[in-house]
Amino acid sequence: MKVKIKICGMTRTADIKAAIDAGVDAIGFVFVPESPRCIDTKKALKLAKLIPVEVELVGLFMDSPAATIHQHCQQIPLTALQFHGAEDNEFCCQFGRPWVKTIAMGGARVGGFEFASWPDAYALLLDGHRAGEQGGQGLAYDWSMTPEISQKIILAGGLNSDNVSAAIQQVKPWAVDVSSGIEISPGCKDIRLIERFCNAVKASHD
């Protein structure tokens, strides 16, 4: 099974072009003001023009007001949404976009109810940060904690070109999501690392 690749926290033209050339399936823009990877609407719209229709454009939000998310959906051609906060299933369903809910896998063991709370999510993103914290910290969780759930799993947290193959073999996710593992600094990707990461993912299912 082909494992899909998402690169999150994109802020630069060259990085997006490199990611597309490397064969990514999705690109993520961060709309969390506290994040060093956050971009404004004007920049997001400019960068979005570089993304072909076959590549998903995902908008990442964390406890944003519904009005703010609606505004972003109207102004930017987002094809999917990703929620990192305390948003419940009903809240996430109101924007007319497929959506992903992030589960914080760092810290205490996550209870089974956590995975059943968002039945309408098309996938759950399992990240290495603790509950209430932002993602993108480069922290991997204990992959042996990965549950067997009916929804698709997007694996995130601490992934890079050196460990993504092992992560795929152990977790068998539907997709992998990388940000800090291919960066020079927050929001600034390394083109060579983008290519190495994507090649490593592709090699894991050749």
pLDDT tens track for 158-183: 999 999 999 999 999 999 999 999 99
What CATH number did the domain enclosing 15 receive? 3.20.20.70
More confident residue, 61 or 115: 61
Distance CA 137, CA 157 (A): 7
Residue 148 has a pLDDT of 83
Number of domains in the chain: 1
Which structural domain, as residue segments, surrounds residue 155? 4-203
- What number of residues does the chain have? 206
Residue 199 has a pLDDT of 97
- How far is residue 110 CA from its own chain's centroid? 19
- Do 154 and 135 form a contact (C-beta atoms < 8 A)? no
pLDDT in tens, 107-160: 555 555 567 889 999 999 998 755 545 555 567 888 888 888 888 999 999 999
95-103 CB contacts, 8 Å cutoff, 24+ apart: 95/66, 95/69, 95/70, 97/73, 98/122, 100/58, 100/124, 100/125, 100/154, 101/125, 102/126, 102/127, 102/135, 102/156, 103/127
Cite the active site residues: 8, 127
Confidence band, pLDDT 50/70/90 cuts, at residue 75: very high
- Residue from 83, 96, 182 nearest 127 by CA: 83
> E strand or H helix at 167, and its extent?
helix 164-171
Calculate Rg over the CA atoms of the chain: 16
Residue 116 has a pLDDT of 83
pLDDT in tens, 182-196: 999 999 999 999 999
> E strand or H helix at 26, and its extent?
strand 26-30
- Do 9 and 30 form a contact (C-beta atoms < 8 A)? yes
pLDDT in tens, 98-108: 999 998 887 55
